Structure 1
């Protein structure tokens, strides 16, 4: 299947404040990265090899995928098979509101599994996607979304506070904070190494082990996440490229499509189109 037969769609629903995401006929690899939001998706067709937080999975049609914010992951096709994939992307604030409505208390969900093979919950994801795509009534969309989240909270979620997560050490946290604050600048490995008084080789090994992605991937992921927010505000891709530290629009477009699956302009249209 050639590029003209690929289907890449994201729909933003203003009632639910979530994204419905579809990739169809895709052979593209996705690099090691993470998102700042929850992802609930499923394989509709094709096969994929997924790496997530040090674990590997072979995915087939009907398999459910759950990513917490900052769960690092990457994937590649198996045997050249084309990927058909649907998902809903839910910002943390929206997820917290839904979880509180369902549980009656402040609840920060943490998905305990990243992959559930042949899950019936995939049908509920498809129902939410179709409700958004068909622009059904707000009642119908909310009902479908709440039903989906309730299923996952009951079966595959615990309060975030109950997860034993030591987190990165003080030095690594400092490096992350620095890159998040200076993402538009030309940060070098020497800059980062000098901050913690360590060699570059040690920095690369320790950072990647604790965060799950290399310093370069971390910086590029932060840049892409910031770029998405600027595009959603209506700022042009050329300006966004400069504001987020990319050398030119061509590099920005290539990286954005590699991470998101869409060009910056395609992504922006879901917020600017009527």
Structure 2
């Protein structure tokens, strides 16, 4: 058992996604100029926020608004652990399009959409979040925060033409490492508005749409006899382990389990 009072693990190449464990330790009162969105994993996470003592239990989300003083302390001898992401409010505004930041005065939430999104964003700290994937994560967190806060986003006119062009480009180039810059150029639309409109018009984000099209191709290749390594390379994944993680994330089972269920015995 780790006897250290505080241990912090960071996702490689990142400073803003972490896992922390505290035992007989505490953070003094401090503040950030970023959002801190955390998911309590074990124990009881105690903290003072907006003049009141709060307690977060496993499965609850902690939402610390920018510039709000807070601390952090253990409540029981076993301590507590959590995973968290810090998000620059300016990065959120690029996704939101210039509206008031969603605010949750209690600093706690059990809203299913927000908790689910946090689980997805913080589930795998072994790999960094890159441009396309990170924007999708921030966009999803913004949506979850709005739902949890009860605040409605301001409606804006949708650009169906841009969404159609981005969709067609991804269908034609699913094997390539598609970038946000490429989608902007093909759709002639700012990436943040494109992502908002894509989600509202087609029900999913450009990033998830692309991942699901790649997995459609991957399933077809596996059923035709392609190895997992060859399938991963053909469908644009960094390696077989990356392919397996993404497959399980979206399909709910590993490629091997899926193939065994699909192929005749």
**Structure whose alpha-carbon radius of gyration is higher:** 2
Question: How high is the TM-score relative to the length of structure 2?
Answer: 0.49
Report which structure shows greater RCO (CA 8 Å, sep ≥6).
Answer: 1
